[in-house]
Structure 1
Amino acid sequence: MTFDYDLFVIGGGSGGVRAARIAASEYHARVGLAEESRMGGTCVIRGCVPKKLMIFASQAGALAHEARGYGWQSADAGPFDWLMFRHKLDAELTRLEGAYTGGLVAAGVDIHKQRAHLHDAHTVELADGRRVTAKHILIAAGGRPQLPGIEGEELGMISDDLFLMEKVPGRVLVVGGGFIACEFATILQGLGAHTTLSYRGDAVLRGFDGDMRRNATEQLRVIGVELRLPSTPTKLEKRDGGILVTYDDGATDQYDAVMFATGRTPHTKGLGLEQAGVKLGQKGEVVVDEWSQSSVPSIFAVGDVTDRVNLTPVAIREGHSFADTVFGAKPRKVDHRLYGAAVYIRPHEVASIGLTEEEAAAQGPHEVYEASFRPMRSLFAGSDARAVMKLLVDAGTHKVTGCHIFGPEAGEMIQLVAIPMGMCATKADFDAAIAVHPTLAEELVTMRRPTRHIGGAHPDKTVGSA
């Protein structure tokens, strides 16, 4: 059978774009791609990139305060101009979208700026009614925000909406306790909104290391975010130009805006997957094997639509590995067991890779190396904020199995830690590295004795670090 394309990709996010570009430019495949919204997907247009820029913007006031601690008597950030920032942000996102589109065009990919869905295992139907055939089809449609299913939820915003606000709300409620909720609570508070965060748990960032969760929760409180823990809204209703929120304990409060950050779900609805025979999971995710292949041999899926590890760099690696495997005759799998992650809250970020302390204890005997200290920069300016560095080491093999950092630019540090951990470095390998002084990261190579033992018959003891 002759096909119109060797590969057709549904979705123009990071994973789909990488797969399309590599297949076309490196392996000379005939590739088509359909994207119903803006090229770049969640990360570039509605997620990581604009959110990080908003984090930077929200810290100007804190930086001005720190400058006064260094003798700058007239340091003052002044009032924040949201519309000026938003227009500049829009221009930057348009530039990035152009770069993504330009890369595909240069690779020879046919771009269809419209929605697409499956007609059968080798046929894609476009929104304009055209049908195209492909030997292989890649689903890379990403995920979408999920609402909590409460009365009046249509009055609230999702994270996408924050980039389109006409002004910063005076009082805002953020619902959720994951990294999106924590980051936007940090942003909104920093931009001048009186921010409340409501979460059903007693500490934010479920799934992260327990120490990191406690530090992140306390930091939100210290920067002025009002925490309602544990607490869940049960109803939203319009009231006097605002939104009246009723909580599960019967309490009520009124806000100018409510933002839901209550999880994301795979964007598979309406893609014709089930009609084509593609197996879906309980959350609607495309069920795939270790090669990203679905239950239909010609159909593959990468990124958030598979609900494996919902991080942009993981989607990119999955897309690249797919192209190498299917079109480059270079079989390559993605190891989903080890990956770094960062939560861009301020002033201290949370960054992690590998096992949490709780997971390590469940797996067997481990040593915990931990340092808690006040960073030199903020200490001098008068801050009491403490940074925390933690290494988890297998007591038998001495392999470093986890690293967790709570501190300034923790995300930058965890990226470098990912390299030795990916090479199965031991604690002795870390100890052999000569420290760069004075830095925060030097603590990772100067902790000589464990602060405690977990997960086995070791006596629980606490000692200092060298």
Structure 2
Amino acid sequence: MNFDYDLFVIGGGSGGVRAARIAASEYHARVGLAEESRMGGTCVIRGCVPKKLMVFASQAKAMAAEARGYGWQTASAGPFDWVMFRHKLDAELTRLEGAYTGGLVAAGVAIHKQRARVHDAHTVELADGQRLTAKHILIAVGGHPQRPGIEGEELGLISDDLFLMEKLPGRVLVVGGGFIACEFATILQGLGAETVLSYRGDAVLRGFDEELRRHATEQLRLVGVDLRLGSTPERLERDGDRTRVIWPDGTDEVYDAVMFATGRVPNTKGLGLAEIGVKLGDNGQIVVDEWSQTSVPSVFAVGDVTDRVNLTPVAIREGHSFADTVFGAKPRKVDHGLVGSAVYLRPHEVATIGLTEEEAAQKGPHEVFVASFRAMRSLFAGSDARSMMKLLVDAQTRKVTGCHIFGPEAGEMIQLVAISIGMGATKADFDAAIAVHPTLAEELVTMRRPTRYIGGAHPDKTVGSA
């Protein structure tokens, strides 16, 4: 059968763009790609990039205060100009979108700027009714924020909306306790909004190492976020141009804005996947095997739409591996078991890779090395903020199975730690590295004595689980 394309990609986010570009430029495949919104997807347009720029902006006031601690008597951040910042942000996102589009055009990918759905195992149908055939179809449409299912939820914002606000809210409620909620709470507080964070759990960042969770929770309070744990809104009501929040105990409060950060769901609705036999999971995610192949052999999926590890670099690696495997005759799988991640809080970030302490205890005997201290830079400026670094070491193999960092630029540090842990480094390998002094990261190679033992009897100790 003669196909219009060797590959047709639905979705112009990080994973889809990488797969399309590699298949076309390196393996000379005939590739088409459909994107109904802006090229670049969640990360470039509505996620990682604009969020990180907002993080940088939100730190200015704290940096000015730190400068005064170092003797700069006139240092002051002054008022924040949201309109100016947003105009610069829009310009930067447009530049990045152009770079993504330009890369595809240079690779020879045919771009269709409209929505597409699957018609059958080898055919996609565009919004204008045109049908195109392809030997392989790749679904890379990502996900979208979901609202919590309460009365009046339509009055609340989602994370996408924050980049489009005409003005910064004076008082804002952020609902949720995951990394998106925590990041935006610290951003908004840092930019000058009176910020309340409501979360039903007893500590934020569920699923992270418990010690990290405690540090992150306490830091939210320290930077001025009004933290409401064990509580979530019952309903929202309009109150003029503001939003009234009614709590389960019957009390109510009025906010300029309410933002929901209560999870994300895959964008599979209306794509025609179930109709052609593609298996979907309970959350609407596309079920794939280790090669990103669906239950329909000609259809593949990468990125957040599969709900495996929902991080941009993972989607990129999945897309690249798909192109290598299907078009380059170089079979490659993605190891989802060891992926570093960071939460961009302020002033200290959360970064992690490998097992949490709780997971390590379930695996068997482990040594836990912990360093907790006040960093020299912030200490000198008068801050009481504490940093923490933790290594988990398998007591039998001596391999480092997990690393958790709470401190400035933790995300930068965990990237390098990920290399050594991925190579199977032992605690002795860490110990053999000579410290760079004075740095925060030197603590990772100077911890000599275990803080505690977990996971049952230690091979050389009589200490039980902690």
**TM-score band w.r.t. shorter chain:** over 0.9
Q: 1:80 Cα shift? A: 0.6
Deviations 1:414-466 (A, max 9, x none): 0000001110100000001010000000000000110000011245599xxxx
In 2, Cα distance between equivalents of 1:142 and 1:280: 14
Q: Secondary structure at 1:337's aligned position in 2?
A: coil
5 Å-filtered alignment, 1:58-137, equals: 58-137=58-137
Alpha carbons 1:231, 1:249 under 8 Å: kept: no
Counterpart in 2 of 1:149? 149
Deviations 1:10-54 (A, max 9, x none): 000000000000000000000000000000000000000000000
In 2, Cα distance between equivalents of 1:454 and 1:249: 40
In 2, Cα distance between equivalents of 1:265 and 1:384: 39
In 2, Cα distance between equivalents of 1:429 and 1:461: 26
In 2, Cα distance between equivalents of 1:43 and 1:309: 14
In 2, Cα distance between equivalents of 1:461 and 1:96: 54
5 Å-filtered alignment, 1:136-285, equals: 136-285=136-285
Is 1:30 the counterpart of 2:40? The answer is: no
Q: Secondary structure at 2:244's aligned position in 1?
A: strand
Q: 1:244 Cα shift? A: 0.9
Counterpart in 2 of 1:306? 306
Counterpart in 2 of 1:374? 374
Alpha carbons 1:451, 1:461 under 8 Å: kept: no
Alpha carbons 1:370, 1:450 under 8 Å: kept: yes
In 1, Cα distance between equivalents of 2:146 and 2:365: 39
Counterpart in 1 of 2:343? 343
Q: 1:239 Cα shift? A: 1.6
Letter aligned with residue 440 of structure 2: L
Alpha carbons 1:398, 1:427 under 8 Å: kept: yes
Letter aligned with residue 264 of structure 1: R
Q: 1:250 Cα shift? A: 2.6
User: Could you tell me the TM-score, scaled by structure 1's length?
Assistant: 0.98
Alpha carbons 1:372, 1:388 under 8 Å: kept: yes
In 2, Cα distance between equivalents of 1:248 and 1:95: 45
Q: 1:234 Cα shift? A: 1.1
Counterpart in 1 of 2:408? 408
Alpha carbons 1:68, 1:74 under 8 Å: kept: yes
Counterpart in 2 of 1:3? 3
In 2, Cα distance between equivalents of 1:421 and 1:246: 47
Alpha carbons 1:287, 1:306 under 8 Å: kept: yes
Alpha carbons 2:456, 2:464 under 8 Å: kept: no
Alpha carbons 2:455, 2:464 under 8 Å: kept: no
Deviations 1:226-272 (A, max 9, x none): 01101011100012431111122333211110000000000000100
Letter aligned with residue 84 of structure 1: M
Alpha carbons 2:454, 2:464 under 8 Å: kept: no
In 1, Cα distance between equivalents of 2:195 and 2:161: 16
Letter aligned with residue 73 of structure 1: Q
In 1, Cα distance between equivalents of 2:93 and 2:290: 33
Alpha carbons 2:196, 2:226 under 8 Å: kept: yes
Counterpart in 1 of 2:13? 13
Counterpart in 1 of 2:443? 443
In 2, Cα distance between equivalents of 1:294 and 1:206: 30
In 1, Cα distance between equivalents of 2:435 and 2:194: 41
In 1, Cα distance between equivalents of 2:247 and 2:287: 36
Letter aligned with residue 152 of structure 2: G
Q: 1:317 Cα shift? A: 0.3
Q: Secondary structure at 2:162's aligned position in 1?
A: helix
In 1, Cα distance between equivalents of 2:204 and 2:186: 13
Q: Secondary structure at 2:274's aligned position in 1?
A: coil
Q: Secondary structure at 2:276's aligned position in 1?
A: coil
Alpha carbons 1:200, 1:229 under 8 Å: kept: yes
In 1, Cα distance between equivalents of 2:153 and 2:220: 25
Alpha carbons 1:18, 1:319 under 8 Å: kept: yes
Deviations 1:269-302 (A, max 9, x none): 0100011110000000000000000000000000
In 2, Cα distance between equivalents of 1:15 and 1:368: 36
5 Å-filtered alignment, 1:286-325, equals: 286-325=286-325
In 2, Cα distance between equivalents of 1:249 and 1:13: 42
Which runs of at least 4 in structure 1 moved beyond 3 Å after TM superposition? 458-462
In 1, Cα distance between equivalents of 2:370 and 2:138: 44
Q: 1:63 Cα shift? A: 0.3
Unmatched 5+ stretches in structure 2: none
Deviations 1:327-378 (A, max 9, x none): 0000000000000000000000000000000000011100000000100100
- Farther-moved stretch of structure 1 (247-256 vs 22-31): 247-256
In 1, Cα distance between equivalents of 2:431 and 2:109: 48
Deviations 1:381-408 (A, max 9, x none): 0001000000000000000000000000
In 2, Cα distance between equivalents of 1:246 and 1:215: 29
Is 1:46 the counterpart of 2:43? The answer is: no
Alpha carbons 2:16, 2:140 under 8 Å: kept: yes
Alpha carbons 2:174, 2:181 under 8 Å: kept: yes
Q: Secondary structure at 2:163's aligned position in 1?
A: helix
Letter aligned with residue 321 of structure 2: S
Q: Secondary structure at 1:233's aligned position in 2?
A: coil
Q: Secondary structure at 2:133's aligned position in 1?
A: strand
5 Å-filtered alignment, 1:424-463, equals: 424-458=424-458, 459-460=462-463
Letter aligned with residue 16 of structure 1: G
Alpha carbons 2:457, 2:464 under 8 Å: kept: no
Alpha carbons 2:351, 2:404 under 8 Å: kept: yes
